[in-house]
């Protein structure tokens, strides 16, 4: 049982970690000082949440793992994050689009997890939900500002949404572990969130004068450990210190 | 459960410790000390982070241990997540000190609910007192602050967001 909760925590913590890592790449490289600071602050929130999940996971681990082992010493196929969060920072519209599509899901997920039967998961969710409310507010505002901005910003925002939208299908997909956690009242009911998720996404896209992509084809695989080519590059950078200097700490 | 020690010396020591990112506020005024269990010279102190990723927590934990050790106490510092920290726990004195330092203190919760409902918040400029202010960015110099600009005195300032 504890092993299954451990596995479940990876589905949540790997998303916050990989998205946090993507945002951390923008530290000092944001398009303006304010957005640079905002995106790296969001990154910091996500890393803090990741630590909470992985510290909890470490207490459930059979092999005496530490939070660092969980974060840094797994192979690519052992990471459970969705493909959406590993997509690269092509330009600011992609950064905002990825953030918005994830924030919407993250917000709904945490809304469910605050009622988890597992008091530790519920506590982390309560803490995180307050932070993610601000993340969602930030990304929604930028979607609207870019979508309803100039012709160029509109076009770039639309391109980014068109590119990223097929990666959203994986968010409400339920793996056997997630199904079991839902039935035990520990995990969230992902399929039940789907309608609400798309309603919220579409509402903001409409307000931003953006077209809702018409697609029936969605890309998935991350939750099963089948990642895109970007994941290897992310891990190369993310894991470098622990691979080069095993067990090092600050 | 009490966040105030029976032994006034302990309270005085804790009041002397500040958040390194907001040096003007003591950890007692911040409301991050949640419980103090006294057992003679042995203390167990629970603290809670303002934000999940708050990088100041490790420093604060070490500062608490060190300051109390200097006064002969042996403190164990525990990190707790529930109930989640809220800006409502910043004391009245803390709010005054924030404003005097140039950071607009968090609004009362009812007023800030407007932000969650995407309505405009009325935040007072800590420099000139004007309410003619605009939000520049939802995130300021740290995750707990937003960046505002005063339209009257034209000064930028940090606002401590409600959480």
B19-66, pLDDT tens digit by residue? 888 888 899 999 999 999 999 899 999 999 988 888 888 899 999 999
Residue B116 has pLDDT above 60, yes or no: no
Say how many domains are in chain A. Answer: 1
**Cis ω for the linkage preceding B83 (within 30 of 0):** yes
Q: What is the pLDDT of residues A183-209, one digit of tens each?
A: 999 999 999 999 999 999 999 999 999
Domain that holds residue A117: 2-244
Tell me whether residue A35 is in a domain: yes
**Domains of chain B listed by start with CATH number:** 8-85 (3.30.300.130), 92-160 (no CATH)
Tell me the average pLDDT across B132-160: 89
Tell me the average pLDDT across A2-18: 96
DSSP string, A54-105: HHHHHHH-TT---HHHHHHSS-GGG----HHHH----SHHHHHHHHHHHHHH
- The 8-class DSSP code of residue A198 comes to H
Mutation choice for B interface testing from A43, A113, A134 by most B CBs within 10 A: A134
CATH code, domain with A171: 1.20.1260.10
Tell me whether residue A249 is in a domain: no
Tell me the average pLDDT across B95-113: 80
Q: Which two tokens stand for residue B16?
A: 């002397």
pTM over 0.90: yes
Tell me whether residue A250 is in a domain: no
More confident residue, B107 or A83: A83
Give the span between the Cα atoms of A157 and A102, in whole angstroms. 16
Query: Is A107 in the B-facing interface, judged by CB distances under 8 Å?
Result: no
Residue in chain B closest to A44 (alpha carbons) equals B53
Query: Is B117 in the A-facing interface, judged by CB distances under 8 Å?
Result: no
pLDDT at B118: 59
Measure Cα distances from A79 to A63, A125, A221, A227, A228 in Å: 18, 21, 11, 9, 12
* Chain A contact set for B140 (CB, 8 A): 37
Residues B142, A35: C-beta atoms closer than 8 Å:
no
Mutation choice for A interface testing from B139, B141, B142, B160 by most A CBs within 10 A: B139
| Sign of the torsion angle spanned by Cα atoms B133, B136, B139, B142 | negative
Tell me whether residue A71 is in a domain: yes
Tell me whether residue A154 is in a domain: yes
For A70, residues 6+ apart whose C-beta sits below 8 A from its C-beta are: A10, A13, A54, A57, A58, A61
Q: What confidence tier does B162 reach under pLDDT thresholds 50, 70, 90?
A: confident
Name the residue among B53, B136, B141 with its Cβ closest to that of A44: B53
Query: Tokens 């809220």 sit at which residue?
Result: B86
Give the span between the Cα atoms of A71 and A74, in whole angstroms. 7
Residue in chain B closest to A119 (alpha carbons) equals B82
């Amino acid at each position: 049982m504890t092993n299954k909760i451990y596995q479940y925590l990876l589905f949540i913590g790997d998303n916050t970690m990989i998205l946090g890592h993507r945002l951390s790449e923008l530290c000092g490289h944001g398009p303006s000082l304010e957005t640079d600071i905002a995106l790296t602050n969001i990154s910091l929130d996500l890393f803090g949440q990741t630590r909470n999940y992985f510290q909890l996971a470490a207490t459930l681990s059979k092999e005496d793992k530490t939070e660092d082992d969980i974060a840094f010493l797994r192979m690519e196929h052992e990471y459970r994050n969705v493909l959406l969060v590993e997509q690269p920072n092509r330009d600011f519209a992609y950064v905002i689009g990825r953030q918005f599509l994830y924030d919407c899901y993250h917000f709904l997920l945490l809304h469910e997890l605050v009622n988890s039967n597992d008091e530790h998961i519920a506590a982390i969710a309560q803490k995180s939900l307050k932070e993610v409310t601000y993340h969602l507010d930030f990304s929604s505002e930028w979607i609207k500002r870019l979508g309803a901005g100039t012709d160029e910003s509109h076009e770039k925002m639309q391109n980014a949404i068109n590119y990223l939208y097929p990666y959203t299908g994986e968010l409400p997909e339920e793996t056997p572990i997630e199904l079991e956690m839902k039935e035990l009242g520990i995990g969230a009911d992902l399929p039940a969130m789907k309608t609400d998720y798309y309603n919220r996404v579409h509402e903001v896209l409409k307000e931003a004068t953006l077209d809702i992509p018409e697609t029936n084809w969605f890309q998935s695989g991350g939750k099963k450990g089948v990642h895109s080519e970007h994941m290897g590059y992310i891990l190369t950078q993310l894991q470098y210190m622990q691979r080069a200097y095993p067990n090092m700490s600050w | 459960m009490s966040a105030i020690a029976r032994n006034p010396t302990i309270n005085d020591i804790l009041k002397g410790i500040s958040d390194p990112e907001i040096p003007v506020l003591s950890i007692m005024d911040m409301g991050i000390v949640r419980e103090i269990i006294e057992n003679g010279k042995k203390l167990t102190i629970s603290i809670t982070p303002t934000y999940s990723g708050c990088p100041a927590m490790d420093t604060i934990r070490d500062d608490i241990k060190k300051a109390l050790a200097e006064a002969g106490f042996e403190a164990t510092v525990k990190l707790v997540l529930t109930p989640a920290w809220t800006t409502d726990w910043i004391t009245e004195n803390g709010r005054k000190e924030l404003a005097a330092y140039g950071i607009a203190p968090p609004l009362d919760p009812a007023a800030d609910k407007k932000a969650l409902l995407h309505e405009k918040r009325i935040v007072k400029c800590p420099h000139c007192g004007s309410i003619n202010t605009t939000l520049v960015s939802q995130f300021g110099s740290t995750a707990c602050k937003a960046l505002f600009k005063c339209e009257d005195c034209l000064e930028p300032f940090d606002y401590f967001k409600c959480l």
